Every structure is written in C-alpha cells, then in structure tokens.
Amino acid sequence: MLPEERQSFIYSYLYQHAYVTFSALAQLLNVSHMTIRHDIQMLEKDGKVTIISGGAKLNEALKQELPWQEKAQLHHLSKRNIARMAEKLVEFGQVIYFDAGTTTYEIARSIADQLKK
C-alpha cells in the first residue's frame, strides 16, 4: 500500500472513530510502528490530525466532511443493499426525487441499471 493510501485510510478511520493508537493502525495495516508514525506526522503537517500520547486524533479545528469518493467507499456494501431494496419499490413511470448523497447515488444507479434490462 502506498503512503497516500495509508494516510487516506488513517484519515477515514479517524473520521469514524475519532481516536486511534499507533499500535492498532500498525496491526490494521500490517506495517511497522515507525511507518504509522511517519504517516501520522504527514497528516499532522497537513493539519488533518493531532498526535497525542500513543496515537492520534482527528484535528477538531479542521473537522470537515470526508471527500465524496471516500464517503462512497464507507459502508459501500450496505449502500448497495439499500439500493437493491429501494429499486424494488419504484415502478415504471413513477417520478422520484433524489437529494445529493452517496447512498442516493447508489439507489439512482441501481434503478438506472434496472431500466436498461
């Protein structure tokens, strides 16, 4: 895994869990403690995280919504399952409205795929 991929994973993990230890990340990513420390130092330099005793936490001052592409990957299987269930509720000729969101995107995609069949 490339450093950028690890750092993206770490940032996403912290967004979900708020705090993580260096040891837990090293085990999750199957890399050394020093590799994790370096990745977190890079994230801290970017202002995304704060290093605390034994680990890191999300930088609250800059807490922001995850980028769309990262959100789309979170709980992706659940989003696809929701989309498959929702698709069954829509009948041909109905008008439906979608707000922005990664789950609604999956629903729209699933319905569009069904219409192609």
Domains of the chain: 3-62 (1.10.10.10), 68-116 (no CATH)
More confident residue, 46 or 67: 46
37 contacts 22 by C-beta, under 8 angstroms: yes
Which of 64, 102, 107 has the alpha carbon at shortest distance from 83? 107
Q: What is the pLDDT of residue 47?
A: 86
Instruction: State the average pLDDT over residues 45-58.
Output: 89
- Supply the pTM of this predicted model: 0.54
pLDDT at 52 over 80: yes
- Rounded to 5°, the CA angle 32-35-37 comes to 110
Alpha-carbon span 28 to 9, nearest angstrom: 10
